[in-house]
Each structure stands twice: as C-alpha cells, then as structure tokens.
Structure 1
Amino acid sequence: MQQTKKTYTVQEATKKLEHYCAYQERCHKEVVQKLTDMYMIPEAIDVIVVHLLQHNFLNEERFAKTFVSGKFKFKNWGRRRLTFELKKKDISKVNINQALATISEGEYIDFFNDLAEKRANLLREPNKFKKKKKFTDYFLYRGWEPHLVYDKANELIK
C-alpha cells in the first residue's frame, strides 16, 4: 500500500501556520522548516512567510525577547548559551543584542548569585575539587561567563 503525502493549498497552509505561530512565538527558520515538511514549494513558502510577517504572526525581535526571557528564567541559561541558541536559529545580531539587553546587569548578577548559592548547597560531594568541578560544569554548560563561574566557585567552595 502506497503512503500518500498530504498536500495543502496555500490558503490551508497559511491557516495552519497562523495557528502554529499564534500558539507559541516562532522564528523564521522554524516556520520555513514546518512549511518544507508540509511539502510546500519555495514560492508558496515565500508567500506564506510574507503573509505571516505582514499580519504580525511572525516577528523575529519579539521571538528573540520571549526566548531570552523564558530560557533565562526557567532554564537558568546565561548570556553565552542564549546567544549561541539564537544564532543557531539564524536570529540577527541586532535582535540578539536587543533581546539580551532586556536583562539588566544587576538582575543578571543577582540571579546568578542566588542560583550559585542554591547549587553549591545542593551538591553533596565531600571532595572540594570534585565539588568545584561539578559546580563549574553545571554553570558553564548553561552558558554563564567563565569569570563569573570560577570566581563564585572559589568564593563558595572552600
């Protein structure tokens, strides 16, 4: 039995993508990938993306700000990881910088300090060198700046 792939008219695909974008902020790359997966031709993809931009379903600046705010608050990511993940999504440098600017320096440092203290108290490792390694690995993986991480590790783990 041959599997037939579902085909969409431009109107159907547009409606589907409006819902896709309304449900959650999306970046251009995700939208284009979704349309490609729906077997849309490049001309149709261009038409639909332009429609989504004109009707404000798709807004890269808004996406970047929402992404940064969410990943910072809920996944505890630092600036380096946020920048890296946004670059992977082909977000422009301007939008990345604007999004990162929504986190004030004071808020960033306070958040890091609270997080670091909680993390240091959670680690149950008698060997202080292994404990420092676990502590630094945790924060470096999440994209916090190395100078912050190492200074804090030396301050909290003695």
Structure 2
Amino acid sequence: MADNNQYYQWATSRCAQKEYCRSEIAKKLLTKGATPDEVDETLGRLEAESYIDEARYARAFVNDKFRFDHWGRIKIRYALRQKGVSDFDTDDALALIDDDDYRQALADFIASRRRTTKGDTPYAVNQKIARAAITRGFEPQMVFDALSVE
C-alpha cells in the first residue's frame, strides 16, 4: 500500500464488517506497512467517524464472550486489558452483565462439569470443577460458594 488514503479505505472496510479496537487495527496497519504516523492519523480519522469506538467494542466483546464463550468477568477483563481497552470502558461494559445471569452461567458450568468430572472423592471432584471454573474467569469466592451450596 502506498498512501494513507489506501490504509484508511482498507481499515473502513474491515471496521464496517465487525467491531475492532484501536490496538487490533493498529497491528494490522503496521503489518500492512504503514508507518506509526500513518497509523495514528488513520486511527484518529476512524475514531472521528465512529468506525472505531472503544466503549462500543468493549460492550460487544463482553456480550459475546459471556453469552457465547461463557467466560467469567476476570477472564473478560484480562482479555480487554491485553487489547488496550481502558479500565473505564471495561468496567462500564462488565456492569451490563446481569448478576442473576452470571450466577446462572456459573451454576450451569458447574452442573455440566459435574456430569463429566471423575475423582476419587467428592472433594477431589469439587477441586477439579473449581479449578476449571476459575480458569474460565469466574471469581474464586463465587465458585467456592456455589460449590458449597450443592
């Protein structure tokens, strides 16, 4: 690619297809051969024209990862931090997860794992389930509380 307009055209076509955050587009532009100045200029223009909106991206990311991948808040927060999304936008997006839905997702995950997890003792089974749920991003105390209720 030769000039900034081509980078802009390429980025707008990508952003029209799905949500991207600043860092994702920046990485893609750099691999296409854009200079850091061209990347900054292109990102500024994309944000000014609402092709990129970090808050909107965070909301979509949280929704998708919770609803479809069944991730917990910790894992979602970490993934957004890795993408360079601000803590403010992340907090706002995570606040949109309904607490009852969140607890139900954890209960469903535990029930699913309980059917397939093998262990010598109930304690060993609970430990395996807890480790899996915590790895999925659910808060440890919430996991242990949910396991003790069963």
With structure 1 as the length reference, what TM-score do the two structures score? 0.87
Work out which of the two has the higher radius of gyration on C-alpha atoms and give 1 or 2: 1
In 2: Cα distance, 1:120 partner to 1:23 partner? 39
Distance 2:140 2:16 in 1: 37
Whether 2:12 is the aligned partner of 1:29: answer no
Structure 2 unaligned segments of length 5 or more: list them. none
| Letter aligned with residue 139 of structure 1 | A
Q: Report 1:5-154 matches (<5 A).
A: 7-154=1-148
> 4+ runs of 1 displaced by more than 3 Å?
124-127
Give the secondary-structure state (helix, strand or coil) at the position aligned to 2:90: helix
**Counterpart-to-counterpart distance in 1, 2:129 and 2:90:** 27
TM superposition shift of 1:129: 3.1
Question: Does the aligned pair in 1 maintain the 2:130–2:144 contact within 8 Å?
Answer: yes
SS in 2 for 1:63: helix
Q: Secondary structure of 2:71's match? A: coil
* Residue in 2 that maps onto 1:3: none
Contact preservation (8 Å) 1:35, 1:45: yes
The percentage of counterpart residues that share the same residue type is 25
Unaligned runs of 5+ residues in structure 1 are 1-6
1:52-87 CA distances to partner (integer Å, 9 max, x unpaired)? 112211000000000000001111111111111111
Q: Give 1:47's aligned amino acid.
A: E
Inter-partner Cα distance in structure 1 for 2:13 and 2:124: 48
Alpha-carbon shift at residue 126 of structure 1 (Å):
4.7
Judge conservation of contact 2:109–2:133 (CA < 8 Å) in 1.
no
How many residues align structurally?
A: 150
Alpha-carbon distance between aligned partners in 2 of 1:19 and 1:137, rounded to the nearest angstrom: 41
The 2-side partners of 1:40 and 1:29 are apart by 14
Shift in Å, 1:121: 2.2
Q: TM-score, normalised by structure 2?
A: 0.91
